[in-house]
Structure 1
Amino acid sequence: MNGTQMKDKKTALVVGATGVVGQACLRHFAALPDWNVIGVARRKLADLPPGAQSLQLDLQDRAACEAALGQRDDITHVIYAAVYEQPGGLVGGWRDQDQMRTNLDMLRNVVEPLDRASSALTHVSIMQGGKAYGVHIHPRIAVPARERWPRDDHENFYWLQEDFLRERQARVGRWHFSIFRPRIVFGDAMGSNMNPIPAIGVYAWLRHERGLDLAYPGGAERVNQAIDADLIAEACAWAATSPNARNETFNLDNGDVFTWQNVWPAIADALGMQVSTPEPQSLGATVPGEQKAWEAIVDKYGLKAPRDLVGFIGQGAVYADFQMNHGKEAPLAPVIMSSVKVRQAGFNGCIDTEDMFRKWFGQLQARGLLPTAEMARAK
């Protein structure tokens, strides 16, 4: 490829590239023929997709961000998927003033150095979610939640980041933005605070090794929605060049609805297990303490997964408790967000939610991060 062709390529800066959304976006953009992609993370990026570049950067360090980004003339798009959470602040901490301000500063530290008169920047995408509608604080929201509703009256760093983008874009006018509100996100990222897949996989194999079937550990049933991380990546690529996505907000989901109880048999089957009677329990209180048992599983099956259990699941067990309604009693109001707007705008990606669960557990097994039923039979 000659220099002119390289210069004509668009370059995406994927910020938060170790997270569940960031990893999916890094893979997706790296596979597109007309894109360069750079993954940004505080931790060193390992196993980069072919063609991807990496940039190790602490987003809370304003001077470091200015030095790393302030003179770049190649970055045309930013996919911002980073989030700061204080320890133990996965749910309640979202209204903490320091946590809110830190998340605003991190976004500012990326956008402001890139946004200069000579900048190539044309588009910025950021992530919100169901918390924009107050699903974490309201016992019930109207169904379905729609993007055109007035802003829900609660404190949230989403609003700080959104207001910053809107004000700056209106002032300079050289670039556009898109805001995505995905439902419960699922992917294969290890050590993520908001990906329950590894934690569920560990919970399943802890039970397997004790001769137990897979019991559903959550609380009351609730009709909900999921979103495959790969679909978010596809939506970001669509929004990067679509005029219909400019300065717009979009809900995202797989295209169907689910309850944990109804998809649990598919999850068990994907993991090579049978379903047993539900056993309500807190995964956040039990799974992280199973370090020795996890090490035994890693050694027994020769897994490539980290021996450090928390390094593998992050806060995924706590997040699973929240999403599975641990400690809640029926009936629970459904949480449904309309995805009509993004489909009418031109993005029509979808996946069956049961197929999504099978896909992600299958990928963890294929990468040697979780055992398979065949491995267990061979022991």
Structure 2
Amino acid sequence: MTRSGKKALVVGGSGLVGRHLIQALAADDWEIVSTQRRVPTEVFATHRVIALDLLDGRAARAALGEAGDVTHVFFLARAWQPGYLIERNANVEALTVVLEALQDLPSLMHVQLIHGLKWYGSTLGPFQNPARESDPKLPVEHFYYDQRALVEARARGRHWHWSTLRPHCVCGIATGSPSNLMLGLGVYAALTRAQGKPLSFPSTQAAFEARLTVTNADLLTRAMLWAATDPAAQDQDFNVANGDTFSWREVWPVYASAFGMEPAGPQPRALCEEMPTLAERWRELARREGLAFDELSTLVDWHFMDATLALGWDQTMSLDKLRRHGFGDAVDTSAMILDILTAYRHQGILPR
């Protein structure tokens, strides 16, 4: 155990949120164990990695036994099918496996789940804006609802607490995590520029005009650590976002200027069909610019991009509860966009 006396198990630590969280935990002197589906090919100075398939219950329980005296569980894992289809039963079973393995550990203090704006039906159609944690659940089945009920039930009568956080469109720096809005837009812009075209918005006018909120990954990890350790946040649900709202129409010139391009209005199309046809152009661009990744399919899930950009209604959330309970951090979204694109360029992931 480190000097902090805290040991984190990050379930699903290889994705965008997991990587940012591990950096934050390491900076705060936590001992860290992370899980991922595949056997790790590298050794990390900041944390230990366990290969874990949560859908193989027996093997997963055995692997989780290697984690030791965990104090905090951060559950970030997702089970999905190709085409950005997230499976309800598999995601509930994954959490069940983790809880059954760890819920009676004497050391356990907190279990945290990361959900999102889909809690409020954000992908189903227009919903009450800004969304509030007190809004009633929708009369639909969703694994968020099942997981939330499960963690609350398993905590009952035990000594540990729980929290759930609901970010939206988490924005940060990561590779190997194709459901990544900022990297997807950066790759789209780079390929559009390579074709000599203006930067059009690849969805509808309604989606271009809708009011949105997003969540910076570093802000989210600060909120995660706060919610996992502050008694004021015990057994609570929190929306987490940058604190401002915007429309794509407002920030599209910011994207265009970052690539030295002229912004253009909406031109709806399916990126999942168009972008794979440009795989060879990306390879040429990667070779010419010396980029770190030359395979387009490993960088971006275009089904995710289509689904994220398609929503033609407002998607905002209230942060009143988060503020009342003591977390007040905020991020300027326009500045965040430029910072993230700059970082991807410096890392040789996007062309300059």
TM over 0.5: yes
State the AA in 1 paired with 2:267.
Answer: E
Partner residue in 2 for 1:346: 326
Secondary structure (helix, strand or coil) at the match of 2:130 reads coil
Choose the corresponding residue for 1:132, options 92, 112, 119.
119
Q: Which amino acid aligns with 2:317?
A: M
Give the equivalent residue in structure 1 for 2:195.
210
Which residue does 2:336 correspond to in 1? 356
Matched, 1:119 2:106: yes
Q: Which amino acid aligns with 2:261?
A: M
Matched, 1:40 2:26: no
Equivalent residue number for residue 376 of structure 1: none
Give the length in aligned residue pairs. 349
Which stretches in structure 1 are left out of the alignment for 5+ residues?
373-379
Name 1:226's counterpart in structure 2.
214
Conserved 8 A contact 1:12-1:38: yes
Structure 2 SS opposite 1:70: helix
Q: Is the 8 A contact 1:73 1:120 kept in 2?
A: no
- Indicate the SS of the match to 1:369: coil
Q: CA deviation at 1:37?
A: 1.6
Q: How far, CA to CA, are the matches of 1:106 and 1:227 in structure 2?
A: 25
Report matched runs for 1:1-379 at 5 Å: 6=2, 9-33=5-29, 35-45=30-40, 50-70=45-65, 72-88=67-83, 90=84, 93-94=85-86, 99-116=87-104, 118-137=105-124, 139-171=125-157, 173-219=158-204, 220=206, 221-305=209-293, 307-313=294-300, 315=301, 317-325=302-310, 332-372=312-352
Aligned residues of 1:26 and 1:49 also touching (Cα < 8 A):
no
- 1-side partners of 2:280 and 2:36: how far apart? 30
Q: What displacement does 1:45 show? A: 4.8
Amino acid at match of 1:183: H
AA partner of residue 286 (structure 2): V
* Distance change (3 Å), C-alpha of 1:279 and 1:127: same
Cα shift at 1:84: 1.0
Unaligned runs of at least 5 residues, structure 2? none
Cα distance in structure 1, aligned partners of 2:196 and 2:96:
51
- The answer to whether the 8 A contact 1:271-1:361 is kept is no
Q: Look up the SS of the partner of 1:58 in the other structure.
A: coil
Alpha-carbon distance in structure 2 between the residues aligned to 1:295 and 1:109: 41
The one-letter code matched in structure 2 to 1:128 is H
| Alpha carbons 2:178, 2:298 under 8 Å: kept | no
Q: Is the 8 A contact 1:199 1:287 kept in 2?
A: no
Judged with a 3 Å threshold, the aligned counterparts in structure 2 of structure 1 residues 241 and 310 are, in CA distance, closer, same or farther, namely same
Task: Describe the shift of the 1:71–1:294 C-alpha distance in structure 2 as closer, same or farther (beyond 3 A).
Answer: closer
The change in CA–CA distance for 1:312 and 1:222 in structure 2 (over 3 A counts) is same
TM-score by length of 2: 0.93
Distance (whole Å) between structure 1 residues aligned to residue 288 and residue 260 of structure 2 = 17
The answer (yes or no) to whether the contact 2:99–2:154 under 8 Å persists in 1 is no
Cα deviation digits, residues 69-101 of structure 1 (max 9, x gap): 23643211111111111112x2xx45xxxx211
- Output one character per residue of 1:97-150: Cα deviation in whole Å (capped at 9) or x when no partner: xx211101111222221122x43111111011111111111x221222111122
Quote the offset at 1:310 in angstroms: 1.2
Q: Measure the CA separation in 2 of the matches of 1:309 and 1:187.
A: 19
Runs of 4+ aligned structure 1 residues displaced above 4 Å come to 44-50
1:254–1:353: 8 Å Cα contact kept in structure 2?
yes
- Matches of 1:191 and 1:210 in 2, distance apart? 26
Residues 6 and 32 (structure 1), Cα distance of their counterparts in 2 relative to 1, 3 Å cut: closer
